[in-house]
Chains A and B, each alone.
Chain A
Amino acid sequence: MLATDILQVKNLVKHYPNVKAVNGIDLNLKKGVCFGLLGPNGAGKTTTVEILEGINHASSGEILYKGQPLDEQFRNEAGIMFQSTALQDYITVRETLDMFARFYPKNLDVDNLILRCNLTEYLDQDNRQLSGGQRQRLLLAIALVNDPDIIFLDEPTTGLDPQARRNFWDLINDIKAEGKTIVLTTHYMDEAYSLCDEIAIMDHGKIIAEGTPKTLLSENFNDAVLQLPEKELNKIDLSNLTTHIKDEYIEITTCDVNGVVSMLIENSISLSHLQIRPRTLDDLFLELTGKELRT
């Protein structure tokens, strides 16, 4: 384990009766990175993260935090935000933060945390009266209350509106700027691309791709996607191209963008609605995990 590694996972396995939820995972997380764990429903990422958080036990394998098995030091230095956590009724935001702060030997200044997570207006509000965004910010504040070295964020923006999501991303970027290590699971590929320095894509209990978002995209794709309204392209034969219908548009995936554009011009296709985009993590995700619906 290198001095820069904060969390090391070796051959992690978790078997339930009839299900291999996690099937031999190895990870090395360096200090200060934002690591994204992605995967379709049932891929095993929640089980993996819960084992890393010390909430669930592995069937076999080893997890080392700062070179040591998960122990009291880990519980004191880890900040955890579950996807859904109930908070106590009849207790205010301030009291909730104070309670969690008293669980740890080391704390951030609660007033400062309140300011940082934009909770000042809701301090005396009962937990039950918080909106989705306010609640997520409180859960993040709870995860930060012990000034953690490593923070686990499990789908932190699920269910939030676009403004609340952007606001949450800003908070996560602030945390990153402080050099904290973040483990993030999310279903939003734009979120992973925007926030994560490294990602791993899981499927069927295994990591099937790992690296920086840009590296993974460049390793897996050397093409781009051209998008035009379906009605415009009805006139020409596209059978020799890779196409995909999305809503009322046809997407053409090609390595030769110039060639395809020339062909469209030769066939008098209007390019006024043409959109060209590079490949995204969404494409990579679907490419690697398939397009069938997971339940």
Chain B
Amino acid sequence: MSFKRFLALFSTRNKEFFRDRSSLSWNILMPVLIVAGFSFAFSGDIGKQFKVAVLNESMANAQSQKFLKLKHIDFYSVKSTGYEIKNTVAKVQRHQVDMLLDAKSQKYWINTESPSGYLVEKILLSSADNNFDKQTVTGKQIRYIDWVIPGILSMNMMFSALFGVGFVIVRYRKNGMLKRLKATPITAFEYLSAQIASRIILIMVVTAFVFYGTHLFVDFVMNGSHFNLFLVFALGALSMISLGLVIAARITSEETAGGMLNLFSWPMMFFSGVWFSLEGAAPVMQSIAEIFPLTHVTTAARAIMIDGAGLIDISYHLIILSLQSAAFLLFGAWFFKWD
């Protein structure tokens, strides 16, 4: 590995990206426009359904069953594990769930600062004869825009990683640039590592720009450490760039590359919890989502930004992303062909 050759490729690729104004603008503008659009769309009062999380639904007593039979309330079941209870209580604190009800013990949690929680409590108490055991929590409301921003940042990163590396490599292979580089002392490892390093830095710069730029007009929550978030995005970028390398390792047609990259990016965009929570989704879908790097980036970023999670809390996602990065990188480098 020659650092001189690596730097030559790295700096040229950076110049190429930053001078391509239309691509750069689009990379920055797209997420800002999406956030602005969502911010506008969700700024007013929207008629919504009450949402109640239910513990021990199958063991519901008669009093609870009366409440659970009511229409126009979105009941969903949660497992009665310590982690799930803690997680759901946190959602009540953030106004994402209006009430958590233990259908067996008749204990319920509401947020005293939530108007919806207040109304759901009134409905619960008027529908049942016996008193329920009230637990109160407090917490600032987490708006949809707060919830969706980590996903949008992650999604933008995914497109930049997959298309920015995968598509570019295929284009260079098709137009003979890679063949020309093959005729020099450059090794595949030097070339690929320069592409990866360049793209990670570009992604981090663009993501930081979008993050702080968006923060100027949307006051979204950021309860965790900026360094932790940086780490998650850097690891996520590495993982998805490496996936791009695997896809682009041998393809010689830009059309095929575009199709393949879309084949990977679109399912990730919809089934990685960027736009909607996967809780309550079919178990098969949740299992599939676990395979996607975007799921782990989004979940970890969301945990940091909304819950203020530390590295230990998101270690599962960091480990998965690290393993995926290593696997994709090794396979991509081994499978890579210059022409």
- Chain A positions within 8 Å of B, measured between CB atoms, are 53-55, 72, 75-76, 78, 80, 82, 84-91, 95, 98-100, 102-105
Contact = CB atoms under 8 A, between A and B. Distances in A.
A14 B16 CA distance: 38
Contacts, number: 61
Contacts of A53: 183
Interface stretch (B3-11, B243-251, B311-319): B3-11
B182 A85 contact: no
A91 B12 contact: yes
B177 A103 contact: no
Given A78-B183, A99-B9, A104-B184, 15 more contacts: A53-B183, A55-B182, A55-B339, A75-B185, A82-B176, A85-B179, A86-B176, A88-B12, A88-B16, A90-B20, A95-B15, A103-B5, A103-B8, A104-B185, A105-B185
A108 B200 CA distance: 33
Given A55-B339, A76-B185, A99-B8, A90 B176 contact: no
Nearest to B190: A103
A78 B182 CA distance: 12
Interface in B1-57: 4-5, 7-9, 11-12, 15-16, 19-20
A72 B183 contact: no
B175 A86 contact: yes
A76 B5 CA distance: 13
29 contacts: A54-B183, A55-B179, A55-B182, A55-B183, A75-B185, A76-B185, A80-B183, A82-B176, A82-B179, A82-B183, A85-B176, A85-B177, A85-B179, A86-B175, A88-B16, A90-B20, A91-B15, A95-B15, A98-B8, A99-B9, A99-B11, A99-B12, A102-B7, A103-B5, A103-B184, A103-B185, A103-B186, A104-B185, A105-B185
Chain A at the B interface: mostly helix, strand, loop or mixed?
loop
B16 A91 contact: yes
Interface centre among A53, A100, A105 (most CB of B within 10 A): A100
A100 B339 contact: no
Contacts of B79: none
B172 interface: yes
A80 to B, nearest CB: 4
Contacts of B7: 102
A89 B4 contact: no
B20 to A, nearest CB: 6
A90 B179 contact: no
A75 B176 CA distance: 18
Given A82-B176, A95-B15, A102-B7, A89 B186 contact: no
B310 to A, nearest CB: 41
A257 to B, nearest CB: 49
Contacts of B4: 102
Going nearest first, the 3 A-B pairs with the smallest beta carbon separation are A86-B175, A102-B8, A90-B19
B134 interface: no
B180 interface: yes
Contacts of B339: 55
A90 B15 contact: yes
Nearest to A143: B183
A102 B186 CA distance: 10
Contact of A102 (B5, B15, B177): B5
Contacts of A104: 184-185
Interface string B106-132: 000000000000000000000000000
B168 to A, nearest CB: 10
A212 to B, nearest CB: 29
Nearest to B339: A55
B180 A82 contact: yes
A112 B241 CA distance: 39
A104 B9 CA distance: 13
A222 to B, nearest CB: 43
Contacts of B172: 86
Contacts of A78: 183
Interface string B152-192: 00000000000000000000100111011011111000000
A72 B184 CA distance: 9
Nearest to A152: B183
A80 B172 CA distance: 18
Nearest to A73: B185
Contacts of A102: 4-5, 7-8
Interface in B171-220: 172, 175-177, 179-180, 182-186
A83 to B, nearest CB: 9
B220 to A, nearest CB: 34
A86 B177 contact: yes
Nearest to B174: A86
